[in-house]
Amino acid sequence: MVISKKLNQKDLIEKKIEFKSNLHLNLMLGEQSKNLFRLQDFLNVDLNIFGNIVCVHGNKEKVKKTVILLNKVYESILNNDGKNEYYELSDFLMELKMLDDSKLVIKNNNDQLILKTWKKSIVPKSLGQKKYLNALNESDLVFGLGPAGTGKSYLAVAKGVEMMKKGEIDKIILSRPAVEAGENLGFLPGDMKEKVDPYLRPIYDALYEMMPYDRVEKKIQNGEIEIAPVAFMRGRTFQNSCIIIDEAQNTTPVQMKMILTRIGKGSKMIVNGDLSQTDIPKGMESGLSKAVKTLFGIDLIKVIELTEKDVIRHPIVTEIIKAYGKN
């Protein structure tokens, strides 16, 4: 609930936001309310707390933006299904960037895109992520293009886990090219899982964030979650599955065609990659690049491009990607 009253000075207003949950309010404000003081300086407004009410005072436009930002962050915390972690200033900056880019107004929870997994709910944190998630919901073949840190793999895993939780699929297939920077699987120690595991570590980390550890291990053992290099997909058809191909920029055109023809009935395939970071031999075209060009314009297939604006790591990563992009 927001209460607004005009003050005597021109263009200055005060708004009061009442938050129902003190717990979630405290998580938003940070440890010892440190975010309150940082946001005051960053947004150039005065912020005061009275119980579960936050008072925002300052320039009309800045107050309006601050109210939208606080409401949006609070909703994100509510949607996180009880993961009691303090919000950091970088989280606020990401939400603020999304507001600035889109000039969004706050929406109700029902209008938000939410992926519900066993351990947490996940919402997109940028406009690009929102488009990507829309595509995952609408299409059975989605290409996600963009630099590291834009959340491609994380959201793909979240979509697969949600589909499994709802009973919409029987299996999650995780795959990626196994040859990178001159390494060949045959020279690596261990069985197939042990050979591929290091390459898929980020996807494993995402799985453990979204599912209890014992559930992940059990589903791997009984084959409901399958990890395999791209080469081992040949000759197979995946029915009622979510197939996630990571680092697809390192596939050859022949491999990519083989991958794309593995989709069976009731399945969804998500192909992610960064065309600016290919490890395939010089002079060879990336299978991902050729696939995107070949399949462009087909209605049933979605291609979503994420940029440095969608990076959700430390803000400095965005600047690094922009700097390298100029060279």
d(CA 149, CA 43): 26
Q: Of the candidates 111, 145, 167, which is a domain's last residue?
A: 111
In this structure, the answer to whether residues 157 and 303 fall within a common structural domain is yes
In this structure, the answer to whether residues 179 and 74 fall within a common structural domain is no
In this structure, the answer to whether residues 70 and 161 fall within a common structural domain is no
In this structure, the answer to whether residues 75 and 152 fall within a common structural domain is no
The pLDDT value recorded for residue 192 is 57
Per-residue pLDDT band for 1 (boundaries 50, 70, 90) equals very low
Given a cut of 70, is residue 44 above it in pLDDT? Answer: yes
Given a cut of 50, is residue 325 above it in pLDDT? Answer: yes
The pLDDT value recorded for residue 111 is 43
Given a cut of 90, is residue 160 above it in pLDDT? Answer: yes
**In which region does residue 266 sit, left (phi positive, over 0), alpha (psi from -120 to 50) or beta (all else)?**
left
Given a cut of 70, is residue 193 above it in pLDDT? Answer: no
In this structure, the answer to whether residues 199 and 85 fall within a common structural domain is no
- Please give, one letter per residue, the 3-state secondary structure of 239-299: CCEEEEECCHHHCCHHHHHHHHCCECCCCEEEEEECCCCCCCCCCCCCHHHHHHHHHCCCC
Q: What is the mean pLDDT of residues 149-155?
A: 90
For 2, half-sphere exposure in the C-beta direction (CA atoms, 13 angstrom radius) is: 14
Given a cut of 50, is residue 183 above it in pLDDT? Answer: no
Percent of the chain topping pLDDT 70: 79
Greatest C-alpha distance within the chain: 76
In this structure, the answer to whether residues 143 and 107 fall within a common structural domain is no
pTM above 0.85, yes or no: no
One DSSP character per residue, 100-167 reads: HHHT-----GGGS--EE-SS-EE---SHHHHHHHHHHHH-SEEEEE--TTSSHHHHHHHHHHHHHHTT
In this structure, the answer to whether residues 312 and 202 fall within a common structural domain is yes
CA angle 312, 133, 250 (to 5 degrees): 70
The answer to whether 123 and 155 are in contact (CB under 8 A) is no
Q: What is the mean pLDDT of residues 203-228?
A: 90
Across 71-85, 140-154, 214-228, 259-273, least confident range: 71-85
d(CA 260, CA 159): 19
Q: Of the candidates 111, 132, 154, which is a domain's last residue?
A: 111
Q: What is the mean pLDDT of residues 275-300?
A: 88
In this structure, the answer to whether residues 100 and 135 fall within a common structural domain is no
Q: What is the mean pLDDT of residues 89-106?
A: 60
The pLDDT value recorded for residue 25 is 84
Per-residue pLDDT band for 200 (boundaries 50, 70, 90) equals confident
Q: Of the candidates 111, 128, 163, which is a domain's last residue?
A: 111
Given a cut of 90, is residue 82 above it in pLDDT? Answer: no
Long-range contacts of 130-138 (CB under 8 A, 24+ apart): 131/304, 132/304, 132/306, 133/159, 135/302, 135/304, 136/268, 136/270, 137/113, 138/302
What CATH number has the domain bearing residue 213? 3.40.50.300
Looking at this protein, which amino acid is placed at residue 81? D
In this structure, the answer to whether residues 267 and 286 fall within a common structural domain is yes
Percent of the chain topping pLDDT 90: 34
In this structure, the answer to whether residues 148 and 229 fall within a common structural domain is yes
What CATH number has the domain bearing residue 49? 3.30.1370.10
Given a cut of 80, is residue 312 above it in pLDDT? Answer: no
Range of the domain at 96: 2-111
Q: What is the mean pLDDT of residues 19-28?
A: 84
Average pLDDT, the chain: 81
In this structure, the answer to whether residues 279 and 159 fall within a common structural domain is yes
Q: pLDDT tens digit string along 247-284? A: 999 999 999 999 999 999 999 999 999 988 888 887 88
In 3D space, the residue among 256, 195, 258 whose CA is nearest the CA of residue 228 turns out to be: 195
In this structure, the answer to whether residues 178 and 292 fall within a common structural domain is yes
In 3D space, the residue among 198, 195, 176 whose CA is nearest the CA of residue 187 turns out to be: 195
The pLDDT value recorded for residue 137 is 92
